[in-house]
Structure 1
């Protein structure tokens, strides 16, 4: 499993069904960790009787910088694993993996710049909502990775 997620960076290939499985695994892990963090915060809120300032101070003292660094490294590892399986899937389709992924990232950045999301304020906290164009592009790319058969574009991915 670790080899599929983190190994074979330059020449690995991944068929459609394993790609779907690993993409779902990464999503489940990410949501599980986020759920754990929210559960930790909610337990702390119950213990502190809803005093928000005291909760922030307690979490900062108990978890602090090591926890934040762990979360950043963990999320970067998940992002790399997600990009690695996408590059492997692109390579299996017959295209150049990382180059095509970089081109898709640039296109996504352009779409996100041309069609920015909306900023809404909820209880004094700004929340950014992605644009419909950006979400549509992500969905189209995911469906292409999931539905285009292996070697549809020849063997260019082996170079």
Structure 2
């Protein structure tokens, strides 16, 4: 007996849920910076439904790790998509729990990018409530010399 993949009804018909994760993984495996067209494709695939799963969010972090010169569209999409996942899709909405905060900070640290730090700051700005330690952790990361140097370079 074969196992069918989970499916969902999308604007484009019935689509396997695994295809969304496969799209993200294929872009990460390519190991190249995303183009604005790639980001538009991701946006269509991920935002046509109720949002992203934790597995897909994890895959987006993997994709962020291969970006060495991200386009502005990727940075905006990454921050928007993951903020939406953590703050608004997880229940209770608006609340970042300790487990979510630990996962988010750990993954942002693994990225070692300005985009990761910007994501953390954006999550804090949008959340109604987050663990107190998270604000302190984000402040330390934002004040790191390499982050400040990158901000100065981009100014």
TM-score of the superposed pair, with normalisation by structure 1: 0.30
Decide which structure has greater helix share: 1
Q: Name which structure has the greater RCO, CA cutoff 8 Å, separation 6+.
A: 1
TM-score of the superposed pair, with normalisation by structure 2: 0.31
